[in-house]
Amino acid sequence: MVAPVAATDVTRLSQNEMGTLVAEAREGDRSAFDALVRRTWADTYSLAFRLTGNAEDARDVCQEAYLRAFRGLRRFRGDARFTTWLYRITANCASTQLGRRRRHRHEELDDELELNDLSPAVDPVGRSESASLRDAVQKALAALPPKLRAVVVLRDIYDLSHEVIAAELGISVSAAKVRLHRARHRLRDDVFLRSEAEGRAHDDVDRPAM
């Protein structure tokens, strides 16, 4: 389904470099906006994929997000990071796309998610978590209903506030909190309780009969 992303395409920019490109793009410099796309597309696509659960929708969401960003760049006030602003747009586009999908067909989630770990050297916490735990979390995330998945992805992976999440998903803050609560409970059940139960069952099988 997918091929690895070339690491050179996803080079992260410093905030200063990003700020300069954003300022130039706001002045109408198209090449500066292209540079922003080249630097941010892998992150944007990852978020879109995590929200929609499939490559086709993620691609459409990504395209729509950059079109909206391009049209709305003059309205970007610069009081938030450009990437955070882009996450908000992507979340909004994904919400629209999922609504459209729900009307047309049943959800088909792709839980065969491949990942590129781009910066393990600067991520001591992430590195310390076992690969199997990350796999389990990925699978549990993919199995969540899209509405629950959206809030937990935006809050716990992309660190957006409850207020921003609610605004972009078109729900109330309290609804966003309720969904997050349910999503975290389900993830905890899927990731830990199931594996602990399986571990106990495995121990029982291994234990010699008395």
Partner 1 sequence: MTMSTDLPCDRLAELMPDLLDDPRLLTEADSGHIAQCLRCQAEMARFRRLRRTLASLRLQQVPAEPGLVEDLLEGLDSAAERRERQRIAGRRAASIVGLAAATAAGVGGVLVLATRRRSA
- Binding piece for partner 1, criterion CB under 8 A, among 17-25, 90-98, 153-161, 164-172: 153-161
159 lies in the binding site for partner 1 (CB under 8 A) = yes
SS3 label, residue 183: helix
50 lies in the binding site for partner 1 (CB under 8 A) = yes
* d(C-alpha 170, C-alpha 2), whole Å: 31
Q: Which of 74, 81, 185, 200 binds partner 1 (CB under 8 A)?
A: 185
97: nearest Cα among 55, 137, 135: 55
Residues belonging to the chain? 210
Contact 36, 18 (CB under 8 A): yes
- Binding piece for partner 1, criterion CB under 8 A, among 17-25, 32-40, 95-103, 201-209: 32-40
Q: Within its chain, how far is the Cα of 209 from the centroid?
A: 48
Contact 34, 21 (CB under 8 A): no
Shortest spacing between CB 166 and partner 1, in angstroms: 14
Q: Which is nearer to partner 1, 28 or 99 (CB)?
A: 28
45 lies in the binding site for partner 1 (CB under 8 A) = yes
- Binding piece for partner 1, criterion CB under 8 A, among 27-35, 72-80, 163-171, 200-208: 27-35
Q: How far apart are the first and last CA of the chain?
A: 50
Q: Which of 27, 107, 108, 117 binds partner 1 (CB under 8 A)?
A: 117
Cα dihedral across residues 23, 28, 33, 35: positive or negative = negative
Shortest spacing between CB 209 and partner 1, in angstroms: 28
Lookup: tokens for 8: 């050179």
14 lies in the binding site for partner 1 (CB under 8 A) = no
Shortest spacing between CB 70 and partner 1, in angstroms: 6
54 lies in the binding site for partner 1 (CB under 8 A) = no
Cα dihedral across residues 94, 13, 8, 130: positive or negative = negative
Number of residues that bind partner 1 (CB under 8 A): 62
* d(C-alpha 158, C-alpha 65), whole Å: 16
- Binding piece for partner 1, criterion CB under 8 A, among 13-21, 39-47, 166-174, 201-209: 39-47
